[in-house]
Structure 1
Amino acid sequence: MQHGNLSHWNERVDLAAAFRWTARLNMHESVANHFSLAINDDGTRFLMNPNQMHFSRIKASDLIVVDANDPETLQGPDAPDPTAWGLHGGIHRHVPHARCAMHVHSIFATVLASLADSNLPPIDQNCCTFFNRYVIDDGYGGLAFEDEGARCAALFTDPAKRVMIMGNHGVLVIGDTIADTFNRMYYFERAAETYIRALQTGQPLRVLPDDIAEKTAQELESYPEQDARHLAELKTILDSEGSDYAA
């Protein structure tokens, strides 16, 4: 389906659904935070949410196209948030395997990012998903303008590591598709919540051995179509409620 002159319509619909559900899960941050999707081969052109529009009302037709190589990007009425330009522009310029990027300040991921030790031990199946598959940024340098965005992008050197625990900041998740990235972001927040709540009990943690954690992570990575089915179900729920996300 094509909608007027707007290209990449199916991707726009998927991204709008991801915004709506992220707000429903209370993983958004007022009118901040951003999702982006590369729409050309080298990733320098990408879809992104408009500057300071609440996730709960973003529609497919609202998404803007940003050109990471255009020096005029921050001018004009459709200019992106400068921190979104810095972080997502840096990711899409320097990390070719990051076709989609989602950055949130969700509560439990941000609590994890605020700990002196921000590692996520494999204490349950969700935590195992991320075993040896995240990087920790311990060099927070302020708002994510261009220098900070480039610095963060440089940490994604291992293609297997697709979550950045942004120390003192939040989380940045990358992936191949919208469904892949949203699913990873969702499960990372669930894993972080389990870990934080387990710490709150004050009891010793039951940490799985490395070999079992790795085996579980590989099994989850090869689980068929779970990410696509997850997003499809969310869209079906939104459709049944009469949501205008796909407008």
Structure 2
Amino acid sequence: MTQHERPNLSHLAERTDLAACFRWTARLNMHEAVANHFSCAVTADGSRFLMNPNGRHFSRIRASDLLEIDANDPATMDRSDAPDPTAWGLHGSVHRACPHARVVMHVHSIHATVLASLADSRLPAIDQNTAMFFGRHVVDDHFGGMAFEEEGARCAAMLADPKITTMVMGNHGVLVIGPTIAEAFHRLYYFERAAETYIRALQTGRPLRVLPDEIAEKTAREWESYPGFAEAHLSEMRAILDDEGSDYRS
């Protein structure tokens, strides 16, 4: 244990992993000022969850900074450390309605948001990264403004099918869910990479080489069963941060 760790924190492992993901998201320039949010359920029913505090830049978030929130507590926004209201509206709604969504990550990363701004925001399977999302993403075509509670509840309803792991939030950004922090972040990272590949392919003006549905589905399933890939990704992120002396664990 390093001098930066806080063994008395509740849910230390989850806090540490989330903090590492915040730091890495900033490093990849997938953050946006002090907006955007990640959350992780810490109870079996998913109703209590960790989330980043209001107004904190991703590059500075530490394990001890994360709020523990009850999705069923109507007084949440009356707390002295109340979360960002759109974070409460979106993440609270998802954790309340979708217990299978243990981890929820929402960003306005550049290429995912470009995709969300197109008239057709579907992501076709044109390589193995885009194929990861074949039949596993949904497009929200009914943007209703900032994601306060009513808008958050509407979005949460679109994630009821556990097969759907990614929502392209039309005119907004992207939201991914997963059973673990490692899997959700891995998915967020790869969606941004996949969206970039697709956008750059469109920019050539040449016809796309779209995979047949059966090959795209086979590839998506192979991604889902790839042993230990997401865990190794997060482990290496933490190792790099530790080697640099980052205080994300504190």
AA of the residue aligned to 1:52: G
- Verify: 1:235 aligned to 2:243, yes or no: no
1:111 is displaced (CA, Å) by 0.5
State how 1:137-148 maps to structure 2 within 5 Å: 137-148=140-151
- Match of residue 110 from structure 1: 113
1:3 is displaced (CA, Å) by 2.7
- Match of residue 93 from structure 2: 90
1:76 is displaced (CA, Å) by 2.9
- Match of residue 60 from structure 2: 57
Q: What secondary structure sits across from 1:66 in the alignment?
A: strand
- Verify: 1:171 aligned to 2:174, yes or no: yes
8 Å contact from structure 2 (residues 31, 109) kept in 1:
yes
- Verify: 1:132 aligned to 2:122, yes or no: no
- Which runs of at least 4 in structure 1 moved beyond 6 Å after TM superposition? none
1:18 to 16, 21, 28: 21
Structure 1: gaps spanning 5 or more residues: none
AA of the residue aligned to 1:105: H
Deviations 1:26-58 (A, max 9, x none): 000100000000011111110000001000000
1:246 is displaced (CA, Å) by 0.5
Q: What secondary structure sits across from 2:13 in the alignment?
A: helix
1:188 to 186, 191, 197: 191
1:5 is displaced (CA, Å) by 4.0
- Match of residue 72 from structure 1: 75
Indicate the larger mover: 166-175 or 39-48.
39-48
Question: How many angstroms apart in 2 are the aligned matches of 1:184 and 1:72?
Answer: 32
1:222 to 215, 220, 225: 225
AA of the residue aligned to 2:145: G
1:192 is displaced (CA, Å) by 0.2
Question: How many angstroms apart in 1 are the aligned matches of 2:7 and 2:249?
Answer: 13
Structure 2: gaps spanning 5 or more residues: none
TM-score of the superposition, structure 1-length normalised? 0.98
AA of the residue aligned to 2:163: A
Q: What secondary structure sits across from 1:74 in the alignment?
A: helix
Question: How many angstroms apart in 1 are the aligned matches of 2:75 and 2:7?
Answer: 25
Deviations 1:188-210 (A, max 9, x none): 00000000000001111111111
Question: How many angstroms apart in 2 are the aligned matches of 1:214 and 1:39?
Answer: 32
> CA 1:231/1:4 → structure 2, altered by over 3 Å: closer, same or farther?
closer
What count of residue pairs does the alignment treat as equivalent? 247
Question: How many angstroms apart in 2 are the aligned matches of 1:205 and 1:72?
Answer: 50
1:215 is displaced (CA, Å) by 0.8
Question: How many angstroms apart in 2 are the aligned matches of 1:42 and 1:87?
Answer: 17
Q: Once the two structures are aligned, what percentage of the paired residues are identical? A: 71
Question: How many angstroms apart in 2 are the aligned matches of 1:224 and 1:28?
Answer: 28
Question: How many angstroms apart in 2 are the aligned matches of 1:91 and 1:209?
Answer: 33
1:4 is displaced (CA, Å) by 5.3
1:59 is displaced (CA, Å) by 0.4
8 Å contact from structure 2 (residues 6, 249) kept in 1:
no
Q: What secondary structure sits across from 1:50 in the alignment?
A: coil
1:75 is displaced (CA, Å) by 1.5
- Match of residue 42 from structure 1: 45
Question: How many angstroms apart in 1 are the aligned matches of 2:237 and 2:17?
Answer: 10
TM-score of the superposition, structure 2-length normalised? 0.97
Aligned-CA RMSD value: 1.0
